[in-house]
């Protein structure tokens, strides 16, 4: 087991986990009793302790470690891999808002994340220009109020649950006052990487809002669904939220049908339904995670043999300029 356990870190509040996360490869590898190595990268290491504790000490190929440890492969320059593959930076009608899809609007709630995932499609995102405060929120609420087609507001980031519950409950309150908005969706990795984030304050505003709340968690591997994560998911469900999971298909992390099926079963056990399995976006520095679309099809085909239909996620990819994610059909067998 990982050190620091004896210091009672499990019971520390989520804010502690955000400020005390591991910020360098050496600490990470030492905690796992692995030989040190480090890669100079502009996207720094960030790993909260509860996530680290779910890794297997002594295993250099641990699928959770691989998601957070910078490798030399990141520095390779590969054709077709760019910094903004989705062309998002030209899609903002007002600061913080991405209105690409009908009926839904995505708001970059905060620049920060609780973990830095090496495959992240936002790793080159100019978050400094997207830092938004309460007065920006007034403008955003005004924009949403002026667009009667918007039924669902999606809080993304960064990770929206890095924001505090005082701000989030204020946002929920503002949005609930808009007639045409009925759903608030949060896309967050926090319940998985710091399950302590599902604290009484969060549960309280979710329970009280008149909006339908959807929480899309981001778990990629069955080992991420620990008992603490399962308990956190149950707290959200009891608060009235609908829980879905989105994964990214990652080479040498989860490109294995048995593991993905296991993830689906563990999610279901936690009250979470699988939603999307994303193909990797071609972002500079992530090519070593790429799984070809055809292999993704084979994996999903095998999963649909192993699982009831409701536990098979939809295989999708994002295409710049498209009005929705592209759904990738399975092999017919
Ligand atoms: C994925 C995405 C959405 C939501 O898409 P769903 O298919 O409804 O999950 C909305 N806005 C943006 C910018 C997105 O990338
Ligand atoms: S939590 Fe999400 S946005 Fe943040 S680094 Fe990981 S994948 Fe990217």
Ranges assigned E (strand) in the chain: 97-98, 104-108, 152-156, 183-188, 212-217, 242-248, 273-278, 314-317, 326-327
CB 212 within 8 A of CB 184: yes
- Is there a single domain that holds both residue 285 and residue 145? yes
CA–CA dist 272, 254 (Å, integer) = 18
Report the Cα–Cα distance between both ends of the chain, in Å, rounded. Answer: 44
**Residue 333 forms part of a structural domain:** no
The residue contributing the CA closest to ligand 2 atom 3 is: 158
Taking the mean position of all CA atoms in its chain, how far away is CA 96? 18
Residue 1 has what pLDDT? 45
Residue 333 pLDDT greater than 70, yes or no: no
- Is there a single domain that holds both residue 37 and residue 179? no
* pLDDT grade for 88, boundaries at 50, 70 and 90: low
DSSP conformational letter for 124: T
**Residue 141 forms part of a structural domain:** yes
- Is there a single domain that holds both residue 20 and residue 127? no
CA–CA dist 137, 145 (Å, integer) = 12
- Is there a single domain that holds both residue 51 and residue 170? no
Q: For residue 293, how many C-alpha atoms fall within 13 Å in the half-sphere facing its CB?
A: 13
- Is there a single domain that holds both residue 104 and residue 50? no
- Is there a single domain that holds both residue 68 and residue 101? no
* pLDDT grade for 252, boundaries at 50, 70 and 90: very high
CA–CA dist 149, 15 (Å, integer) = 36
Residue after which a domain boundary falls, among 41, 75, 109: 75
**The pair of three-digit structure tokens given for residue 190, joined into one six-digit string:** 């926090």
Which among 252, 239, 193, 199 has a CA at the least distance from the CA of 217? 193
**216 Cβ inside 6 Å of ligand 1:** no
Tell me the best of 120, 155, 215, 218 to mutate to test the pocket of ligand 2, counting ligand atoms within 8 Å of each CB and taking the most: 120
Give the least confident one: 15-29, 62-76, 85-99, 158-172: 85-99
- Segment 87-100 shows an average pLDDT of 76
**Residue 83 forms part of a structural domain:** no
CA–CA dist 255, 290 (Å, integer) = 10
Ligand 1 center–CA 293 separation, angstroms: 20
Residue after which a domain boundary falls, among 13, 42, 75: 75
**The pair of three-digit structure tokens given for residue 203, joined into one six-digit string:** 């549960």
- Is there a single domain that holds both residue 93 and residue 61? no
**Residue 142 forms part of a structural domain:** yes
CB atoms within 10 A of CB 136: 16
Give how many domains the chain has, as a whole number.
2
- Is there a single domain that holds both residue 139 and residue 227? yes
Which among 281, 176, 263, 260 has a CA at the least distance from the CA of 225? 263
Which of 1-10, 101-110, 113-122, 180-189 has the highest mean predicted lDDT (pLDDT)? Answer: 180-189
**Residue 80 forms part of a structural domain:** no
Tell me the best of 87, 102, 105, 106 to mutate to test the pocket of ligand 1, counting ligand atoms within 8 Å of each CB and taking the most: 106
**Residue 25 forms part of a structural domain:** yes
**Residue 268 forms part of a structural domain:** yes
- Is there a single domain that holds both residue 111 and residue 62? no
- Is there a single domain that holds both residue 190 and residue 112? yes
**Residue 82 forms part of a structural domain:** no
pLDDT averaged over every residue in the chain: 91
The four Cα atoms 269, 270, 273, 277 give a dihedral, to 10 degrees, of: -100
CA–CA dist 311, 155 (Å, integer) = 25
CATH code, 185: 3.20.20.70
Residue after which a domain boundary falls, among 75, 96, 111: 75
pLDDT tens digits, one per residue of 42-73: 889 999 999 999 999 999 999 999 999 999 99
pLDDT tens digits, one per residue of 206-218: 999 999 999 999 9
How many residues are given for the chain? 333
**122 Cβ inside 6 Å of ligand 2:** yes
Ligand 2 center–CA 276 separation, angstroms: 16
Burial 141-169 (b: 16+ CB within 10 A, else e): bebbbeeeebebbbbbbbbbbbbebeebb
- Is there a single domain that holds both residue 153 and residue 210? yes
- Segment 292-315 shows an average pLDDT of 97
Residue 282 pLDDT greater than 90, yes or no: no
If one compares 111 and 204, the residue with the highest pLDDT of the two is: 204
Which among 123, 162, 147 has a CA at the least distance from the CA of 19? 162
The residue segments making up the domain with residue 247 are 88-327
- Is there a single domain that holds both residue 58 and residue 205? no
Residue 251 has what pLDDT? 98
DSSP conformational letter for 74: G
Tokens 């360098």 — which residue? 24
Residue 257 has what pLDDT? 98
**The pair of three-digit structure tokens given for residue 13, joined into one six-digit string:** 């509040």
């Amino acid at each position: 087991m990982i050190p620091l356990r004896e210091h009672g870190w499990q019971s520390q509040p989520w804010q502690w986990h955000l400020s005390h996360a591991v910020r360098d490869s050496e600490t990470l590898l030492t905690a796992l009793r692995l030989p040190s190595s480090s890669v100079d990268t502009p996207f720094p290491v960030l790993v909260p302790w509860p996530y680290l504790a779910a890794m297997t000490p002594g295993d250099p190929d641990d699928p959770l470690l691989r998601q957070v440890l910078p490798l030399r492969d990141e520095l390779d320059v590969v054709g077709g891999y760019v910094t903004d593959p989705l062309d998002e930076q030209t899609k903002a009608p007002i600061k913080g808002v991405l209105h690409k899809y009908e009926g839904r609007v995505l708001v970059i709630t905060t620049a920060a994340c609780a973990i830095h995932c090496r495959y992240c499609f936002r790793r080159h995102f100019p978050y400094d220009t997207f830092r938004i405060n309460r007065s920006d929120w007034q403008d955003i609420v005004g924009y949403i109020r002026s667009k009667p087609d918007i039924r669902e507001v999606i809080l993304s980031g960064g990770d929206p649950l890095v924001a505090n519950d005082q701000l989030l409950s204020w946002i929920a309150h503002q949005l609930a006052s808009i007639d045409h908005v009925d759903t608030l969706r949060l896309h967050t990795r926090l319940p998985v990487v710091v399950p302590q984030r599902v604290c009484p304050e969060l549960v309280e505003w979710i329970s009280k809002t008149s909006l339908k709340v959807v929480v899309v968690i981001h778990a990629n591997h069955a080992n991420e669904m620990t008992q603490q994560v399962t308990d956190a998911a149950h707290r959200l469900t009891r608060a009235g939220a609908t829980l879905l999971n989105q994964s990214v298909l990652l080479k040498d992390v989860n490109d294995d049908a048995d593991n993905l099926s296991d993830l689906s079963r563990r999610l279901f056990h936690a009250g979470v339904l699988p939603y999307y399995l994303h193909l990797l976006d071609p972002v500079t520095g992530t090519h070593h995670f790429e799984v070809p679309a055809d292999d993704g099809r084979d994996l999903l085909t095998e999963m649909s043999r192993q699982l009831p239909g409701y536990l098979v996620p939809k295989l999708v990819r994002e295409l710049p300029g498209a009005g929705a994610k592209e759904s990738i059909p399975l092999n017919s067998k």
